[in-house]
Copies of this chain bind each other. A is one copy, B any other.
Amino acid sequence: MPHRVLNFNPGPSALPLPVLEHAQKELLDFKGTGMSVMEHSHRGKEYEATHNEAIALLRELLGIGDNYHVLFLQGGARGQFAMIPMNLLAKNQHADYVLTGAWSEGAQKEAEKIGAVNVAATTKVDGVYRRVPKPSELHLSSEARYVHITSNNTIFGTQFHTFPETGSVPLVADMSSDIVSRELDVSKFGVIYAGAQKNMGPAGVTVVIIRKDLVESGRTDIPEIFQYAPHAKANSLLNTPPTFSIYMVCQVLRWLKKEGGLASIGKVNQEKASMLYRAIAEHQGFYRCDVEDDSRSIMNVVFNLPTEALEKQFVTEATQAGMIGLKGHRSVGGIRASIYNAVTLSDVTTLVEFMGAFEKRHR
């Protein structure tokens, strides 16, 4: 058995052990071809089978309709912050942005380079976000080209548990940190995009699920590589894709299917999060979660201890106990446990036990 820690990294993050073991086993000889998957041509039938299997698995797991393209692109969510408005927004048009954290602010900033942005809502108070907005708080415009949200906010530990109704205006969601973590009605969205490096695979590939009519009506006066249409037409083989990252996504999705799909993993993720929020509540006065109840993320559980010194000590002792990645984002401090799909119920149980013991030692 290799030495392995419990990995609560916010992303890149834990990968399922069986996936890593499988990748290791065939790293020099993919499917008996005498080559690593990294050495295969992206135009060869062996790689293409994996590429297409990853797309098919994503379609199956998320129940994606035929009226959507599933694309594998590069550049991360930040690339999509720019590509979305470049494709869907013109200089004299506007889009609605719902601000719930640093990532949605980043998306807004890029869109402002392209067209006009209407802030449909922001939950920022004194520089921090403790919740996502209620439907009644959204000032949506029927003329907007789209409405942009961040479904889960890794830094502030908030998450949309129901999505805004946007009528005929396409809803665009950055789901980098909660895609394939729970069941989802894709048909509510115009575009869903996500970097793979949290729930789906290693860094280096970005999934874009986009309604075909939005692809077809996209702008063509921008560079071809930043248009969705040529990528869709070429089945994400317009240029050399990040083949190894896509191979890894395929393995993770296979694992996810074997584990029972999104209904099943969604239950496990809910249970993991509930255990942590319960532990925080049970040790009230020592641990504290400032996120409002309705907005609490099941992916990133953020909390504080009585002092910064104790938070530092918590991270140090956790590391000694074989648990890493628990330090909160540098912009907000505190503790953050990122509990994506590959983090097991047993990992979280260990963390909860540690929290109890730590409180006893330091209260």
Please give the residue numbers on chain A whose beta carbons come within 8 Å of chain B beta carbons, in ascending order. Answer: 2-5, 7, 9-15, 17, 20-21, 23-24, 27-29, 32-36, 38-42, 74-79, 81-82, 86, 109-110, 113-114, 195, 197, 202-205, 221-226, 238-245, 248, 322, 324-325
Say yes or no: A39 contacts B15, CB within 8 Å: yes
Say yes or no: A202 contacts B78, CB within 8 Å: no
* In the complex, chain B residues whose CB is within 8 Å of the CB of A27: 20, 23-24, 27
* In the complex, chain B residues whose CB is within 8 Å of the CB of A223: 81-82, 86, 110, 113-114
* In the complex, chain B residues whose CB is within 8 Å of the CB of A41: 9-12, 325
Say yes or no: B15 contacts A24, CB within 8 Å: no
* 6 A-B contact pairs sorted by A residue (CB < 8 Å): A7-B39, A20-B27, A20-B38, A74-B76, A113-B224, A195-B240
Say yes or no: A29 contacts B3, CB within 8 Å: yes
Contact pick for A81, options B23, B222, B225, B244, CB 8 Å: B225
Where chain A touches its partner, the secondary structure class is: loop
A215 to B271, CA, bound (A): 49
Contact pick for A203, options B78, B195, B240, CB 8 Å: B240
* In the complex, chain B residues whose CB is within 8 Å of the CB of A14: 35, 39
Contact pick for A78, options B13, B21, B238, CB 8 Å: B238
Say yes or no: B76 contacts A75, CB within 8 Å: no
Say yes or no: A203 contacts B241, CB within 8 Å: yes
A322 to B325, CA, bound (A): 45
A39 to B9, CA, bound (A): 8
Query: Chain B: which residue is nearest A47 at the CB level?
Result: B12
Query: Chain B: which residue is nearest A74 at the CB level?
Result: B74
Q: A34-B4, A223-B82 are in contact. Are A39 and B13 (CB under 8 A)?
A: yes
Say yes or no: B7 contacts A35, CB within 8 Å: yes
* In the complex, chain B residues whose CB is within 8 Å of the CB of A324: 34-35
Taking the nearest CB of chain B, how far is it from the CB of A75, in angstroms? 5
Q: A110-B225, A242-B204 are in contact. Are A20 and B4 (CB under 8 A)?
A: no
Taking the nearest CB of chain B, how far is it from the CB of A5, in angstroms? 4
Instruction: A4-B34, A20-B28 given; name 19 further pairs at CB < 8 Å.
Output: A3-B29, A5-B35, A12-B39, A14-B35, A15-B36, A15-B38, A35-B324, A75-B79, A76-B240, A77-B239, A78-B224, A78-B225, A79-B225, A81-B223, A86-B223, A110-B225, A113-B221, A113-B223, A204-B205
Contact pick for A11, options B11, B221, B240, CB 8 Å: B240
Say yes or no: A38 contacts B248, CB within 8 Å: yes
Taking the nearest CB of chain B, how far is it from the CB of A146, in angstroms? 16
A7 to B36, CA, bound (A): 10
- Listed residue (A11, A34, A242, A243) with the most chain B CB atoms within 10 angstroms of its CB: A242
Task: Give me the 9 closest cross-chain CB pairs, A-B, nearest first.
Answer: A204-B242, A82-B223, A5-B34, A38-B202, A74-B74, A78-B239, A2-B28, A24-B27, A204-B204
A79 to B79, CA, bound (A): 11
Say yes or no: A222 contacts B113, CB within 8 Å: yes
Contact pick for A9, options B4, B40, B238, CB 8 Å: B40
* In the complex, chain B residues whose CB is within 8 Å of the CB of A32: 3
A17 to B36, CA, bound (A): 10
